[in-house]
Structures are given as structure tokens and as C-alpha cells.
Amino acid sequence: MELNNEDDDRATPRSVLGRRLRRLREAADLSQRALADKVGYPHTYLSRVERGEQLPSEALAEHLDTHFATDGLFVELLAMAQDASIPDYGRAVVDSERKAARIQVFGSSLIPGLLQTEDYAHALFRESLPGESEERRNGRVATRMRRKRVFEKEQAPYYWAIMDEAALRRPIGGAACMCGQLRHLLKAVEPSRVAVQVLPFAQGEHPMLGGSLSLLTFRNGSTTGYVESFFSGESVEAPAKVLELTHMFDVARSKALPEGETLDLIREYLRKYENEDDS
């Protein structure tokens, strides 16, 4: 979902952040080296940020806000720049996640994004975007991890994920990465508002082979659907289509293992990966 490239010929949050940093530094009559000494980061790093060649880390953005007393400006610009990596077709659903009262997702071959670990997400982006710089891949991972803050809200949404067994079987990032990912899954379901089910291979065909689906329900009762496959996606709001997608999700749910059996299957795969990692 986080796959856009920024257009260098127009103003972007990345370029605005760099310009604001340069102007504030110059207004304070500081060289890059002097500012680097004050915030504790290399001046070459600050130079790349000013030129828009690299985004600051969240820690650096917070240091800059503290030093210049900018009331969260750099943290907000950083978040906007990271969000800019999300394609237009996916930005609406990411925005909706923050407002949803219930999130239901189905993934046919991958762990759903909101349940992924950093290592797992890194492995996915490293393979799917081999020509991209490490800095941009890091930004995409940071965006994905920041989306998980919906679980920290006072009124966190109910979250129900169904995934094909293929998501457990495919060793994304290798055995050690999968160990961390499956341990995270087991921990993620501890809150009562989060549920995970696995649709096992034994069930054969199901209505959502080869794609992924998200259903986001808001506090007024309305529901928006989102269907994604490879580098394309579609946001669905028409009631008849949403009803059709909801039926597909319900069919998949009816074929999935109950939660207790799901957790047993995840533990079984975890033991296999642990044995592989030890060998």
C-alpha cells in the first residue's frame, strides 16, 4: 500500500521540511556544524535533510522541534512526508483506519499490514522494491508502523483479521524473521479487541484467493470496502458492492479455524521456524 514516488518537480512535505529547517537554522545564525553539535547529529545528515535527499528520523524531528520551539512542526512534516509514499488509491483507506470503529481484513498470502513487524515489512519492501534506496524503504516501513497507532487510541477499533495459511507457511525474511513475526501475532491477540483467524489449506478454494480485502465500519454504522491486488486497489462505498464484499468476508470467516485452533496452528508454525533458526 505504501508505494508512491514523490515528484521532485513540485513542493512536497519532504522538500518543505528541508526548506523550513534551513530557514530556521539561518535565522538563528547557525552553521550546519553548529546545529549538529546542538542536536547531537552529524552535520552531513542535517545537510541531506535540508536538501530533501533524506528524511529525518522521528528522534531527530523531535530534537529539532525542541531546539527551535516549533511545537511539533518537524514531527508533523515527517509524518506527512511518510504518508506521501502511500498511493492515491490507498490513502483514503489509511485515513479511514484512524476513524474506524471496526476493521475487518482478509489477506491471501501475507500477514496483514497492521499486524506486521518491522523486520517482516523490511523484507517485503526489500524484495518488492529492489531498486529503491534504503532510506526510502525505511520511510515506507516507518509509515506502516505508524499506522499501528490506531491500537493505542482511547477508543481503539475492534480489529478482526483472517489470513490464508499461506501467510504462515511462506518464510518472509527467513526463519528468524518469521519467529519474531509469529510471536508478535500471538501477543497482538491478547487485547480482547483484536481477533485473528487462519483459513487452512484443507478448506481448498475460497472467494478471495489472490487478493486482499479491508472492511472499515464507522461509528455511524456505515462501512467502506477496500480491495487490493499487487500495485492496484479500489475503495468501495456503494452499498450493494459493500454488501457483496461483506458476504465474501463472511464466507471466508466461516471456513476459517476458530480462534483457539488458529493460535495452536500459529504456535505449531512458530516451533518449526524456531527449529530451523537453531539448526
> Where are the domains positioned within the chain?
13-83, 88-115+148-278
CA gap 108, 205 in Å, rounded: 11
- For the ranges 23-37, 62-76, 233-247, the lowest mean pLDDT is seen at 233-247
Q: Over pLDDT 70: what percentage of the chain?
A: 90
CA–CA distance, 189 with 38 (Å, rounded to integer): 43
Given a cut of 90, is residue 143 above it in pLDDT? no
- Quote the percentage of the chain above a pLDDT of 90: 57
C-alpha cell of 131? 531498486
User: Is it the case that residue 230 has pLDDT exceeding 90?
Assistant: no
Superfamily holding 88-115+148-278: Endonuclease Chain A (3.30.870.10)
Q: At residue 214, does pLDDT exceed 70?
A: yes
Confidence class for position 4, pLDDT limits 50, 70, 90? very low
Q: Hey, do 13-83 and 88-115+148-278 end up sharing a CATH topology, with the first three levels equal?
A: no
Q: Kindly state the average pLDDT of the residues 175-184.
A: 97
pLDDT at 78: 85
Q: Which amino acid is at 6?
A: E
Does 164 score more than 50 pLDDT? Answer: yes
DSSP state of 204: -
> Distances from the Cα of 79 to the Cαs of 46, 55, 61, 233, 256, in angstroms?
18, 10, 10, 22, 36
**Pairwise CA distance, residues 72 & 76, whole Å:** 6
N- to C-terminal Cα separation, the chain: 35
**The pLDDT value given to residue 118:** 94
DSSP helix/strand/coil, 259: helix
Residue 8 — pLDDT band, cuts 50, 70, 90? very low
Query: What is the rounded average pLDDT of the residues 152-161?
Result: 92
Architecture of domain 13-83: Orthogonal Bundle (1.10)
Q: What is the average pLDDT value for the chain, to the nearest integer?
A: 87
Give bridge partners of residue 127 from the DSSP assignment: none
Q: Per-residue confidence at 279, pLDDT binned at 50, 70, 90?
A: low
Residues facing 215 on adjacent strands: 104, 225
pLDDT one-digit tens code per residue, 90-132: 666 677 888 899 999 998 889 999 999 999 999 998 887 777 7
pLDDT: which is higher, 152 or 79: 152
pLDDT in tens, 44-66: 999 989 998 888 888 899 999 99
Phi-psi region of 191 (alpha: psi -120 to 50; beta: other; left: phi over 0): beta
> Which one, of 108, 105, 127, 134, lies nearest residue 177 by Cα?
127
